[in-house]
Amino acid sequence: MAAARTRNITINSPADVNNIGNWATVRSLTVNTGNVTINVPAGNYHSFTVNGSGSTLKFAAGTYNFADTIVLNSNSRVETNGRITVNFGGSLTLNGGKFTLGANTMVTDVILNVLNGGVTINSNSEINGEVRVPRGVLTLNNGNALVRGNIWADNFTLNGNGQIICAICAGGSTN
């Protein structure tokens, strides 16, 4: 029998990283300290929020399922390594956060599926990978918001200095 995902983990200091324990029981993760790196195995989670400046979640090859969301704030990032699919039941929000590529990982190796919500990419935020938002809006807001990769969205909005660098951009309408 698989372990239940019941633990909500909060990282308030670098020492707390050593206390994460069995990832099979982790439901949600909140990182409030800066400059930590956490290796996250593929699996099923509820939500992750990273508030600590310079903190990195490293995702290895595989599939990551989030019942809700990931929120990346304050120069935090998810570093993808290898072929990765990330599925979101809710939304994806970047407030100065980034999805970056690790060594030997190409933009085409990373697929982000936002199934029931939207994607909001705010100032100084970036996604490297294919972004699919079949029933929502992808919004890039001011201050160098960037998507480097293909976009498949029902709708997208580009405000201010937002930028899209892609081979194929498909959407219902643009604003």
Residue type, 32: N
d(CA 96, CA 108): 23
Residue 126 token pair: 């970036």
Mean of pLDDT values over 143-163: 88
Bridge partner list, 66: 45, 88
**Is the pLDDT confidence value at 21 over 90?**
yes
- The strand ranges marked E within 32-129 are 37-40, 43-45, 47-50, 56-66, 70-73, 77-88, 92-95, 98-101, 110-114, 119-121, 126-128
Residue with more model confidence, 103 or 168: 103
Residue 88, Cβ neighbours under 10 Å: how many?
Answer: 25
C-alpha distances (whole Å) from 114 to each of 19, 38, 131 are 30, 23, 8
Q: What is the pLDDT of residue 4?
A: 72
Q: Where are the domains of the chain?
A: 7-171
Predicted local distance difference test score (pLDDT) of residue 17: 97
Task: Read off the pLDDT band of 49 (50, 70, 90).
Answer: very high
pLDDT at 93 over 70: yes
Average pLDDT on 107-135 reads 95
Predicted confidence band of residue 164 (pLDDT cuts 50, 70, 90)? confident
Q: Cβ distance 57 to 48 under 8 Å?
A: yes
Give the global pTM.
Answer: 0.91
So what's the pLDDT on residue 1? 41
What is the predicted pLDDT for the residue at 48? 98
- pLDDT for the residue 5: 84
Give the C-alpha distances (Å, rounded to integers) separating 111 from 70, 127, 128, 140, 161: 14, 10, 9, 18, 24
Across residues 149-168, what is the average pLDDT? 84
